[in-house]
Chain A
Amino acid sequence: MECPAKERDGAAVLLDYCTRKLDPRSAAVVERHVAQCAACQDCIQAQQAVWAALDGWEAVPVSPDFDRKLYRRIEREERPARWGERLWPLRGLSLRPALSLALASVVLLAAILIRPAPPRPVHAPQQAQVESLDADRLERALDDVEMLRQLDAGSSAGSQSM
């Protein structure tokens, strides 16, 4: 085994050895090397001293009102959203259908308002139309008269034969 104290990756091995994170087989290899290497012995001893010194630094307990302060901050952030929900009368519903409906209404209204006005009626064509309508009526009336005449003729022929 190469001396782990002399290379950076090897230092991680020594660190893991000090913290007992190495598997038993690797730990045994390191132990055999350390037994005959003064540099590694010094390194391990110094690292264990650092470890013990760091162990002596206890953290101060968390304040009892930590959670209360946190939840107050959360509540403060959520409050505007809740007010928004209260103002929205259909809060159980999604906004998407309502928005679609509103958009469709606007488009429909715009179409009605923007639609071009019907062309102003011109006097002469209207007169022509009236004339053509009268001719049609006259023709139909004549047809009706002719039909009635035929019916009348048919019925009189029938009464004579009886």
Chain B
Amino acid sequence: MVAVAVIEPDAQLMLRVKEGDSASFALLLERHRAPVVHFLYRMVQNQAVAEELAQEAFLRVYRARASYEPTAKFTTWLFRIATHLALNSLRDGRFQRFHESLDQEDQQAASREVADRRPTIEQRLVDRARLEEVRGAIAALPAKQRAAVLMHKYQEMEYSQIARVLNCSESALKSLLFRAYETLRARLAHMA
């Protein structure tokens, strides 16, 4: 029986980008723009910095198209680049200069709310306090634990994929997640 290597659709698109097909790059961007920006936003907690980092991540993907080989899932590669950029940004402290307040976020969120579903002022204050607590709990995690939790919770990635993104073993990742959720349970369990 001949083993046939199945290349995932994203990797196929990237191989077309390698051949000079810019439409395939546009498709990849369309598919992964929001997940990457959202991941980076939760990592650095600033929308402008998150978008700048996401653009850098896609730019690096585009730059590396000539040498691309589908050795791993495309998203593993993409999130590896994004995580690397986020960890560097956090280490450099860039995010602290731009740290976004909840007021700015409220303004952005308000613009997308539907008028008849607008919550009361009290409800908004409660939501805001809860959100501040969640953001604070996530921000207090060490950067690598934060990345692991965000990929596990919001991107719903498998342990093996997160481990590859973070360049660690699966058991090391489980240990990382165990510590991260233990911290989060201690800080957020009262919110139930």
Contacts of A61 in B (CB 8 A): 34, 108, 112
Stretch at the interface among B2-10, B73-81, B88-96, B126-134: B126-134
Interface check A109, CB cutoff 8 A: no
B5 to chain A, nearest CB (A): 27
Task: Assess the A9–B29 pair: CB atoms within 8 A.
Answer: no
Which of A59, A69, A73 gathers the greatest number of chain B CB atoms within 10 Å?
A: A59
Interface check A150, CB cutoff 8 A: no
Contacts of A67 in B (CB 8 A): 29, 33
Q: Is the interface of B mostly helix, strand, loop or mixed?
A: helix
Contacts of B185 in A (CB 8 A): 43, 46-47, 49-50
Contacts of B190 in A (CB 8 A): 49
B140-154 interface code vs A (CB 8 A; 1 in, 0 out): 000000000000011
- Residue of A with least CB distance to B30: A67
B54 to chain A, nearest CB (A): 7
Q: Which of B147-192 contact A (CB under 8 A)?
A: 153-154, 159, 171, 174-175, 177-178, 181-182, 184-185, 188-192
Task: Assess the B33–A60 pair: CB atoms within 8 A.
Answer: no
Interface check A58, CB cutoff 8 A: yes
B12 to chain A, nearest CB (A): 21
- Residue of A with least CB distance to B34: A62
Interface check A54, CB cutoff 8 A: yes
Question: For chain B, which range describes its interface: under 10, 10 to 19, 20 to 34, or 35 or more residues?
Answer: 35 or more
Task: Assess the B105–A57 pair: CB atoms within 8 A.
Answer: no
Interface check A63, CB cutoff 8 A: yes
Please pick, from A8, A9, A53, the residue contacting B188 in the complex, using a CB distance under 8 A: A53
Task: Assess the B41–A52 pair: CB atoms within 8 A.
Answer: no
A26 to chain B, nearest CB (A): 15
How far is it, in angstroms, between the C-alpha of A136 and the C-alpha of B37 when the chains are bound? 99
Task: Assess the B55–A45 pair: CB atoms within 8 A.
Answer: no
Known: A12-B178, A62-B37. 19 other contacts (CB 8 A): A9-B171, A45-B189, A47-B181, A52-B191, A52-B192, A53-B130, A53-B133, A53-B137, A54-B184, A56-B131, A60-B47, A60-B108, A62-B33, A62-B51, A63-B47, A66-B55, A69-B51, A73-B55, A74-B62
14 contacts between A and B (CB under 8 A): A11-B174, A46-B192, A47-B185, A49-B191, A50-B189, A53-B188, A56-B130, A57-B131, A57-B135, A66-B51, A66-B54, A69-B55, A73-B59, A74-B62
